[in-house]
């Protein structure tokens, strides 16, 4: 591990996803100075991906007119379970990684201290420190995109559970015998309210002959993105309206469940779906959550959206690096 000689102060955060790697170079006050993006190419195997991460870090640092010498530490969020002691990835299904010593290998390539966390934990930490200024004691960050996950802050610290696997809220069952989920079960939150679920519902409805402007807007429905739903809503599309509204209602039920269980001070909704559709969804989520949660558990609890969007992960990585190299 490289020493922090007191002169270096920049921090790098990395968000490692199944399809892309995003890196951001931050100054010591956690202001973003430069970013870089590379495709993950997970099919090439861990060693190749780790080299791509190193390249992406260097690109982001270069974008910020800095060099690796200026960097105090690198924090990564990865889509899987992470051994907090060794920084090894225990299991990351989207990358098909099992027991990959990510921290060790990346430290060797970069010559810098590296810290690894679960991606939702990292994003929650980024939101907590930069958006909420570390003020609430307990916070729950819910991230809705292709999948749904969460990061939990208890007493100002990340809570990751016994086997570093807490926060798998996407597979909380909300409707026994509901629609099939990628995990094999039925009625999971993710199968009802993720981007994947909404797109699936829209495609099925189109096949059944329902009309939507999406078929005019897009050449290929497989290229649909959350932003397309927003555009369709603004054009008064009834099908998209129904699908987005139903997803928001399920999100409200899920938030109520989590507030009942955890009674956090603040619930933050983030991720690509919320970034694109917060205006349309947040009101419904809050209304349904208040309806379903116990009065005592919901009292004084704030439900807000994150403005960090796609940058939550890299921001959290930088926060992690800052905390760990203090």
Q: Which of 8, 35, 40, 81 binds a second copy (CB under 8 A)?
A: 81
What is the rounded distance in angstroms from the CA atom of residue 219 to the CA atom of residue 235? 18
For the bound state, the minimum distance from the C-beta of residue 242 to a second copy, rounded and expressed in Å, comes to 16
Give the integer Cα–Cα distance in Å for 115 and 303. Answer: 30
Helix (H) / strand (E) containing 214: helix 214-217
Closest distance between a second copy and the C-beta of residue 266, in Å? 8
- Choose which of 256, 278, 285, 308 interacts with a second copy (CB under 8 A): 256
Check residue 296 for interaction with a second copy (CB under 8 A).
yes
Spatial separation of the C-alpha atoms in residues 31 and 204, rounded to whole Å: 43
What distance in Å separates the CA atoms of residue 268 and residue 266, rounded to the nearest whole number?
6
**Which residues contact residue 9 at a Cβ distance below 8 angstroms, ignoring those fewer than 6 apart?**
27, 28, 70, 72
Spell 91-111 as b/e; 16+ CB within 10 A means b.
ebebbebeebbbbebbbeebe
The site map against a second copy for 32-71 (x = CB under 8 A) is ----------------------------------------
CB of 286 to a second copy, least distance (A): 16
Contact between 86 and a second copy by CB under 8 A: the answer reads no
* Distance separating the N- and C-terminal Cα atoms of the chain: 14
Residue 207 makes contact with a second copy by CB under 8 A? no
Task: Tell me the site size for a second copy, rule CB under 8 A.
Answer: 51
Under rule CB under 8 A, residue 154 binds a second copy: yes
Binding test (CB under 8 A) with a second copy, winner from 41, 55, 138, 242: 138
Question: Residue 190 phi/psi, 5° resolution?
Answer: -65, -30
Q: Quote the least distance from Cβ 187 to a second copy, whole Å.
A: 8
Tell whether residue 260 is a contact of a second copy (CB under 8 A): yes
Decide if residue 304 touches a second copy (CB under 8 A).
no
> From residue 84, how far is each of 122, 181, 324 by CA, in Å?
12, 29, 12
- Residues at the site binding a second copy, with contacts judged by CB under 8 A: 80-81, 90-91, 136-138, 150, 154, 159-169, 171-178, 183, 185, 187, 250, 253, 256-258, 260-265, 291-294, 296-297, 299-301
């Amino acid at each position: 591990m490289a020493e922090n000689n007191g002169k270096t102060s920049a921090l790098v955060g990395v968000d490692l996803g199944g399809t892309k790697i995003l890196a951001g170079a931050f100054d010591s006050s956690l202001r973003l100075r430069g970013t870089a993006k590379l495709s993950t190419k997970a099919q090439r195997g861990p060693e190749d991906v780790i080299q791509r991460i190193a390249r992406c870090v260097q690109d982001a640092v270069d974008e910020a007119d800095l060099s690796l010498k200026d960097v105090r530490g690198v924090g990564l969020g990865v889509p899987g379970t992470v051994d907090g002691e060794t920084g090894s990835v225990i299991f990351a299904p989207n990358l098909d990684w099992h027991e990959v010593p990510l921290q060790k290998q990346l430290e060797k390539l970069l010559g810098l201290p590296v810290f690894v966390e679960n991606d939702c934990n990292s994003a929650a930490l980024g939101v907590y420190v930069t958006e909420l200024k570390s003020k609430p004691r307990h916070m729950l960050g819910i991230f809705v995109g292709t999948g749904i996950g969460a990061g939990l802050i208890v007493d100002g610290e990340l809570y990751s559970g016994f086997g570093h696997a807490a926060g798998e809220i996407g597979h909380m069952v909300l409707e026994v015998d509901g629609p099939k989920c990628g995990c094999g079960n039925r009625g999971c939150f993710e199968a009802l309210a993720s981007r994947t679920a909404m797109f699936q519902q829209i495609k099925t409805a189109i096949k059944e002959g329902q009309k939507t402007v999406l078929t005019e807007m897009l050449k290929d429905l497989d290229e649909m993105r959350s932003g397309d739903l927003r555009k369709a809503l603004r054009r008064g599309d009834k099908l998209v309206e129904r699908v987005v509204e139903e997803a928001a209602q399920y999100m409200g039920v899920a938030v109520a469940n989590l507030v009942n269980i955890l009674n956090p001070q603040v619930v933050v909704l983030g991720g690509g779906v919320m970034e694109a559709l917060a205006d349309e969804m947040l009101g419904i989520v809050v209304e349904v959550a208040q309806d379903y949660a116990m009065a005592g558990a919901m009292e004084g609890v704030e439900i807000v959206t994150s403005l960090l969007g796609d940058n939550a992960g890299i921001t959290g990585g930088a926060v992690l690096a800052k905390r760990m190299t203090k």
